[in-house]
């Protein structure tokens, strides 16, 4: 466990493995200065924090003798209390040769440092009070971010946006518990320390706040892992052609033979700063072919896991009975109805929409549409998957749909640990609110609020055990 060795001086390469122009070797701990000065004799005895020093590093020989040159470097010193880890830290910027970096690490270990474990620098920043556990997870999320919006949200978390919200609820719970405890202490004297109305008001505010955070998990997962968009519909309506069009390469085989796609084909692109994971599926139809049936089953499973659906149909043929049956089982709020092959179809958007409305008249799908005018105007599209301009138009549509969700400008949760803890905290808080409204004994109300408080503190890392630490930091890379 990391806590057992937190007084060691640790070292690691903090830049990616492989050949590069530069590499950064980080040394942190109580012996960071002394150990670094052994291989970097140009470092003065009295170092100035946040200052960079230039010189040549050398291998060390027994008896403190200077050995062969290793490299020309820039060494930057960060004083204890002012560094990322909160400890004395030296960062050595050298040339990005794997041989050079390994030579540095070998020398540092021989002198007295040890190799850092995964996430140990960030762990020390947490243990030394530089960041809380939520911010530590923000570090990893920022490193792993794959899009503009995921990086932006991870940076917000690192800067404390989510932590501040949780701490606000923590303060509110502490106030409520203090007054409830006082009510218990003075209950024999008949004194009312806090009114039920005030407790309900404060508890209701916290319930709403936690509900917003818990409900943001889906949006947070989209930001972190990407928007999962599934192409579905009958065979031979152009799903594979559309996938190729959107990703700009021939990822899926396209033929005139119905049922060519038999398994899920995945590719990705970016729309409005968000990664979109596009999944092409087997065409939906009744089939006796064993392999195709498995592909169709996977298509239905993919629909259930999707964040959004593009339901394609052949505009020239119109909606079939099978199309309507398939649409009846889907949620119009997460779906775009896309008529493909408009280049082969006479008429225009008004005529095509009129024909669709007649085909869907009386269907369950039509009854589930909450805003009919908005659906026909914004979520029904007509394209030709052979027209390259259509790909850019569709990307703008996807970006607009993601922007309408408005999750980029608010703190969201995207860690499963946060979701689990806050969901449980919300349940406890709702029970506390119900007990207050029922004028229950203060002891029972306080019990539910204490459980909520402990879960918030566990999320922030103010209360933790080895399992929590292992779960968080084992996902980090070495050097961070």
pLDDT digits (tens, 9 = 90+) for 237-296: 888 888 888 877 665 544 454 444 445 688 888 887 788 888 887 655 555 555 555 555
More confident: 404 or 35? 35
8-state DSSP, 478 = B
Closest-CA residue to 401 (of 254, 229, 155): 229
pTM above 0.75, yes or no: no
The count of C-alpha atoms lying within 13 angstroms of the C-alpha of 359, restricted to the half-sphere facing its C-beta, is: 19
Domains defined for the chain, CATH in brackets: 2-132 (3.30.1360.120), 140-216+413-461 (1.20.120.430), 224-404 (3.40.50.300)
Chain center to CA of 395? 22
Phi, psi of 56 (to 5 degrees): -110, 135
With a pLDDT cut of 70, the percent of the chain lying above it is 85
Please, which residues have CB within 8 angstroms of residue 459's CB and are 6 or more apart in sequence? 133, 134, 166, 417, 418, 421, 422, 425
Closest-CA residue to 318 (of 413, 230, 382, 398): 382
pLDDT at residue 408, as a whole number: 55
Q: What is the mean pLDDT of the chain?
A: 84
Average confidence (pLDDT) over 60-71: 81
Please, which residues have CB within 8 angstroms of residue 219's CB and are 6 or more apart in sequence? 405, 407, 412
More confident: 411 or 456? 456
With a pLDDT cut of 90, the percent of the chain lying above it is 40
pLDDT at residue 74, as a whole number: 97
Phi, psi of 301 (to 5 degrees): -65, -40
Average confidence (pLDDT) over 138-166: 84
More confident: 93 or 20? 93
pLDDT (tens digit, 9 = 90+) per residue, 215-241? 888 888 888 888 888 888 888 888 888
pLDDT (tens digit, 9 = 90+) per residue, 299-321? 666 677 778 888 999 998 889 88
State yes or no: pLDDT of 77 exceeds 80.
yes
Task: Sort 257 into a burial class: Cβ within 10 Å, 0-12 / 13-18 / 19+.
Answer: exposed
pLDDT (tens digit, 9 = 90+) per residue, 396-455? 888 888 876 655 556 788 888 899 999 999 999 999 999 999 988 888 999 999 999 999
More confident: 63 or 232? 232
Average confidence (pLDDT) over 345-370: 90
pLDDT at residue 242, as a whole number: 86
pLDDT at residue 255, as a whole number: 46
pLDDT (tens digit, 9 = 90+) per residue, 98-121? 999 999 999 999 999 999 988 899
Confidence of residue 462 (pLDDT cuts 50, 70, 90): confident
Yes or no: say if 26 and 104 are a contact pair by the CB < 8 Å rule.
no
Cα–Cα distance between 321 and 318 in angstroms, integer?
10
CB atoms within 10 A of CB 30: 13
């Amino acid at each position: 466990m990391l806590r057992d060795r937190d007084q060691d001086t640790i070292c690691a390469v903090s830049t990616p493995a492989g050949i590069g122009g530069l590499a950064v070797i980080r040394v942190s701990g109580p012996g960071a200065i002394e150990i670094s000065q052994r291989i970097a004799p140009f470092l003065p005895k009295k170092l100035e924090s946040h200052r960079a020093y230039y010189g040549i590093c050398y291998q060390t020989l027994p008896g403190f003798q200077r050995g062969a040159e290793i490299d020309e470097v820039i060494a930057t010193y960060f004083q204890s209390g002012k560094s990322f880890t909160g400890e004395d830290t030296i960062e050595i910027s050298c040339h990005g040769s794997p041989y050079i970096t390994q030579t540095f690490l070998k020398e540092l270990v021989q002198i007295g440092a040890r190799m850092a474990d995964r996430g140990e620098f960030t762990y020390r920043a947490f243990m030394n009070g530089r960041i809380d556990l939520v911010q530590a997870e923000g570090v990893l999320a920022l490193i792993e971010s794959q899009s503009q919006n995921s990086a932006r949200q991870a940076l917000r978390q690192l800067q404390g946006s989510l932590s501040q919200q949780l701490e606000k609820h923590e303060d509110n719970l502490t106030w409520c518990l203090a007054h409830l405890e006082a009510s218990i202490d003075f209950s024999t004297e008949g004194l009312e320390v806090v009114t039920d109305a005030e407790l309900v008001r404060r508890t209701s505010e916290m319930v709403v706040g936690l509900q917003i955070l818990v409900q943001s998990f889906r949006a947070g997962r989209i930001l972190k892992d990407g928007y999962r968009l599934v192409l579905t519909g009958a065979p031979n309506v152009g799903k594979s052609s559309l996938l190729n069009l959107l990703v700009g390469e021939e990822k899926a085989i396209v033929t005139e033979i119905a049922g060519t796609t038999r398994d899920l084909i995945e590719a990705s692109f970016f729309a409005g700063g968000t990664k979109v994971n596009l999944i092409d599926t087997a065409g939906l139809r009744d089939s006796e072919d064993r392999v195709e049936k498995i592909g169709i089953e996977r298509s239905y499973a993919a629909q259930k896991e999707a964040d959004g659906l593009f339901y394609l149909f052949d505009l020239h043929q119109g909606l079939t009975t099978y199309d309507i049956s398939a649409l009846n089982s889907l949620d119009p709020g997460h779906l775009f109805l896309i008529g493909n092959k408009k280049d082969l179809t006479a008429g225009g958007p008004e005529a095509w929409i009129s024909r669709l409305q007649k085909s869907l008249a009386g269907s369950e799908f039509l009854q589930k549409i909450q805003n009919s005018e908005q659906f026909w105007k914004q979520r029904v599209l007509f394209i030709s998957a052979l027209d390259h301009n259509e790909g850019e138009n569709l990307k703008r549509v996807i970006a607009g749909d993601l922007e309408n969700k408005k999750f980029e400008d608010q703190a969201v949760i995207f860690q499963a640990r946060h979701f689990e803890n806050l969901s449980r905290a919300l349940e406890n808080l709702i029970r506390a609110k119900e007990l207050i409204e029922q004028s229950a004994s203060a002891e029972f109300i306080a019990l539910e609020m204490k459980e909520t408080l402990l879960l918030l503190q566990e999320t922030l890392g103010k209360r933790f055990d080895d399992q929590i630490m292992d779960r968080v930091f084992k996902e980090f890379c070495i050097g961070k």
